[in-house]
Structure 1
Amino acid sequence: MGTTQQHPPSDLGPESSGSGAGGGDGAPDPAATAAPTGPSGDASAPAATATARQVRRLELGDASGIVPLARDFTRQALYDWGWLPAESADRRAAAEDVLLVVSELVTNACLHAEGPEELRVSLDAKVLRLEVTDRGPGQPAPRTPHRAGRPGGHGMFIVQRLCLDWGVTRADGAPGKTVWAELAAPE
């Protein structure tokens, strides 16, 4: 279970003081204000219904404070989709797990893959899918053997433990990859 502190959607954490990705003027980062998209990913498509896949995209590129930015973006999606505020301990734990997995995937891209390019969060009736596209050639994998008492090297182990499934997709002839993870939607 994750241990993420809950924040209301308007609380952008430590980056909101003007030192964040918004250019230092306290203005929100335009990339962080992505509109909900329809099932095709087209922002002009009608809002998704409860049974259709809902998708949010955040361009990360050269933004500063990428991990908190990704968490805040995902937290806002969870509010918009009714996961937060949580009605029960199980729903709260599910939301915390999502935010922890986002942190781990984005941090991995920062440390091992030349930085993340995009975060995509999508939801259907049963599964929430997180995708982080990066520029790196590497292949993420949990460290084996996992050594719980040592610092570092826990990211993909955490992802593996919390998610229904995870993997890597690559586009033919293009650099980088997309690391994806799927978590069960709370009932």
Structure 2
Amino acid sequence: MTRSEGPPGVLARRPAEQTRRLLLRGTSGVVGRCRGFTREALDDWRWLPAGEPGAGPAGSPDGDGADPLDEERLAVAEDVLLLVSEVVTNACMHAGGPTELVLHHTAERLRIEVSDGSPEPPRPRPGRGPAQPGGHGLVVLGRLARAWGWRPTEAGKTVWLEVIPPPAGRPAAPPAGPRASG
């Protein structure tokens, strides 16, 4: 999707509210599909720095290195992708795979929901040391998400989490071509 630039000095606006749904079945390739779906939404919502989606921070306008705002936006987007990976992986490992990924975006937050067919609530694994692989997904959720929880559904459960949006983009670049001075 091509981004349209506004007039010079005007901050790029994000859509006020939008919900995107991805219906899922099975476990094969589902984490990558969910990450790709989420990355596309983040790019559309201008959570990623300008340029290639997820390619890294763009240089600052004066060419002196990375723009701190772009670095922050990229860091938040990478956190979101990690959180999606964790919740979807948990559904694959403990519930036979997710049935749906929902991204609900507002100006105040991004709510991510992953539904699966198991009524069992998410539970931390007891006695796992920090150096042991596996069992750390809920710790990651607790550290990176503003809030998270779960609710029972008729078909199983939905695990949800919320993330605060990154700072808005820098002012749009002036249009190319001759400019009137005045």
- Is TM > 0.5 for Structure 1 vs Structure 2? yes
Structure 1 residue 141 displacement after superposition: 2.6
Query: Equivalent residue for 2:62?
Result: none
SS in 2 for 1:170: strand
Matching of residues 1-187 of structure 1 within 5 Å:
50=14, 52-62=16-26, 64-85=28-49, 87-145=69-127, 147-171=129-153, 174-187=154-167
Q: Which has the higher contact order (CA 8 A, sep 6+)?
A: 2
Comparing 155-164 with 60-69, greater Cα deviation is found at 60-69
Query: Equivalent residue for 2:4?
Result: none
Q: Give the counterpart letter for 1:154 in structure 2.
A: H
SS in 2 for 1:106: helix
CA RMSD of aligned residues (A): 1.9
Larger Rg: 2
SS in 1 for 2:20: strand
Structure 1 runs not aligned, ≥5 long:
1-8, 10-48
Structure 2 runs not aligned, ≥5 long:
2-12, 50-56, 58-68, 168-182
Structure 1 residue 53 displacement after superposition: 2.1
Q: Identity over the aligned pairs, expressed in percent?
A: 49
Taking structure 1 as the reference length, the TM-score comes to: 0.68
Paired residues in the alignment total 138
Taking structure 2 as the reference length, the TM-score comes to: 0.70
